[in-house]
Amino acid sequence: MHKKMGLDVGDKTIGVALSDIMGITAQPLKTIRRKGYEKDFEELMQIIESNSVDEIISGLPKNMNGTLGPQGEKVIKFIEKLQKAIDIKVEYWDERLTTVAAQKALIEADMSREKRKKVVDMVAAALILQGYLDMKNMKK
């Protein structure tokens, strides 16, 4: 049985989430501090191998009008390099407002600003992955 992995790729961190083996729910897993492509890929590979990941869903930040901005281009560059290092299919998921939704959920959970900073990226990754899983499961 395989899991799906959700990524929220930023300049300083990568939020990581995993699905259950049924592909129904997404759970935040961790936030990786960026240390350069090689180190980032090593850490992602460990997660992929230890969790039998067969597909990666990466958030793709777009401008509100649907165009790609500088951050979207950075994510595409990161994913293209990642795909050369691993042999797993990567899908993009429009992540407009995901971080905003994650922040809002954490504020509603009465989490302090300090704690929110540590978990917002992995919560955003879970929202990205959950959106993808919900879309896939609606098609079934």
**CATH number of residue 77's parent domain:** 3.30.420.140
Give, for all 140 residues of the chain, the pLDDT tens digit: 799 999 999 999 999 999 999 999 999 999 999 999 999 999 999 999 999 999 999 999 988 888 888 999 999 999 999 999 988 999 999 887 677 777 787 788 887 878 777 778 898 899 999 999 998 888 76
Which residues on neighbouring strands pair with residue 110, listed in sequence order?
none
Q: Model pTM?
A: 0.90
The parent domain of residue 86 ranges over: 3-139
- Residue 58 corresponds to which amino acid? S
Give strand ranges (E) for the chain.
3-9, 13-19, 26-33, 53-60, 89-94
- Residue 136 corresponds to which amino acid? K
* pLDDT at 22 (0 to 100): 94
- Please state the domain count of the chain: 1
